[in-house]
Amino acid sequence: MRVVPARDGGLARLRLPGGELGAHAARAVAHAARTCGSGAIEVTNRANLQLRGIRADAHAALVGIALDAGLGPAAASGDDIRNVMLSPLASDETRALAARIVAAMQADTSLHALSPKFALQLDGGERLAMLDHPHDLWLSAIDGGARFAFGFAGTMPRGPDDVSALGAIVRGEVVPFVTKVLRRFVALATPAEARMRDLLARIDATHFLKAVGFDADVRVWRRAPADDTLRLGAHEEPHRATWYAGAQAPLGRLDASTLDALAELASTRAEGRLMMTPWQGVLIPGIATNDTHDVVQRLRALGLPTEPRDPLARLIACAGSAGCAKSRADTKADAHRLAPLLSAPDRDRVHLSGCERSCPAAHPVAATLLARAPGHYDLYRGERLVARNLTIEEAAERLARSHTDA
């Protein structure tokens, strides 16, 4: 496990298989956050966890706790490549297929040279899915799961003008196909080409795929829309007799006590699992129908928003100047100031970024506040600059106005 320096101490990432965290492992993470770090836990936009404030003398203890909880890689050098995103509601079959992909990647030491940012998505066609994150390789189930459409360096096509899928492969060939594509990438990419988009800027996809077998009859296929509001509140689980309850980690952060409480709730009122989401939230699956209301109420009592109209359910903020030397403002504190000023009916997501890197948002959001100085931000709608050097109060007023004007 790599621990990287940050302004508030070491930062350690725990990669979760498809965002899944058992209750026992969640308690172990909470313990590690308390004893090895500051107690702060972040849910990332790839449904992993980050522990902040890790002390220099606690690295070995942290690794030991993670391994004992079953959160480590199969091979030490294969930790960084376990980047396969799933829907929080992915079926057992999809999760099993993702596990085989990760196992094959870890078993092939040549693939350990992939960048930690090299990312894959395995999509089963769920109504709740993150479809806006670009991936180096994505695969989406078609024909009832008998085949998977695939594409490189982008997102699944949803509209008529989107870039089409490159082809399709049968389900039984997914794992060898993925390893063949990744080996070819490693063989062709230069040291400066860490992502698929970098390589494809020099070598077109047709040339890349020349040595890879696939079907090419999916040019007209488009992925069905998803509904990200299904990540919040209580809903019936697809193809099961149980329900799930979803909540937002405010600004992507939990503390150790809250994670302990979530583990206890999952153990006593559900099936003992938590699903972290790429919206920086958490789902508890396997809830009996009669228990759903109580579970949602308990989530709210923990301070976790469960409704899309809650401002903290649509605010994103980076670590800010408290945790990152590159940040020009304390974005977390400013986001908490902004939340009560936002218009409740507006469901647009708002992103506060301390610098141009926009770390917590892997995809475009409706509105971005880019820090210029402590407490002052430029407002963007998409890529369009709307206003400069706004205070938080002025930003709230402009957000309300621009939403009305739109």
Domain boundaries, the chain: 3-77+227-308, 91-125+131-211, 313-405
CB atoms within 10 A of CB 327: 24
Segment 343-348 shows an average pLDDT of: 71
Express as a percent the part of the chain with pLDDT over 70.
98
Q: Is the pLDDT of residue 405 over 60?
A: no
Same fold, 91-125+131-211 and 313-405: yes
Segment 255-270 shows an average pLDDT of: 98
Round to whole Å and give the CA distance between 380 and 21. 36
- Residue 74 near residue 85 (C-beta atoms within 8 A): no
Confidence at residue 102, expressed as pLDDT on a 0 to 100 scale: 97
Confidence at residue 257, expressed as pLDDT on a 0 to 100 scale: 98
- Residue 396 near residue 402 (C-beta atoms within 8 A): no
Least confident stretch, 123-132, 231-240, 339-348, 388-397: 339-348
Segment 319-344 shows an average pLDDT of: 94
Confidence at residue 402, expressed as pLDDT on a 0 to 100 scale: 61
DSSP 3-state assignment of 191?
coil
pLDDT digits (tens, 9 = 90+) for 370-383: 999 999 999 999 88
Round to whole Å and give the CA distance between 313 and 60. 35
Between 79 and 157, the higher pLDDT residue: 157
Q: Is the pLDDT of residue 367 over 60?
A: yes
Q: What is the pTM assigned to this prediction?
A: 0.94
Mean pLDDT, the chain, as a whole number?
Answer: 94
Q: What token pair was written down for 67?
A: 């391994």
Beta bridge partners of 154: 135
DSSP 3-state assignment of 24?
helix
CATH level 3 topology of 3-77+227-308: Sulfite Reductase Hemoprotein; domain 2 (3.90.480)
Q: Is the pLDDT of residue 323 over 80?
A: yes
Segment 121-133 shows an average pLDDT of: 97
Confidence at residue 348, expressed as pLDDT on a 0 to 100 scale: 82
Least confident stretch, 121-125, 232-236, 307-311: 307-311
Confidence at residue 403, expressed as pLDDT on a 0 to 100 scale: 54
Beta bridge partners of 54: 10
Express as a percent the part of the chain with pLDDT over 90.
87
CATH level 3 topology of 313-405: Sulfite Reductase Hemoprotein; domain 1 (3.30.413)
Q: Does domain 91-125+131-211 have CATH number 3.30.200.20?
A: no
DSSP-derived secondary structure letter, 14: E
- pLDDT band for position 362 (50/70/90)? confident
Confidence at residue 406, expressed as pLDDT on a 0 to 100 scale: 46
- pLDDT band for position 404 (50/70/90)? low
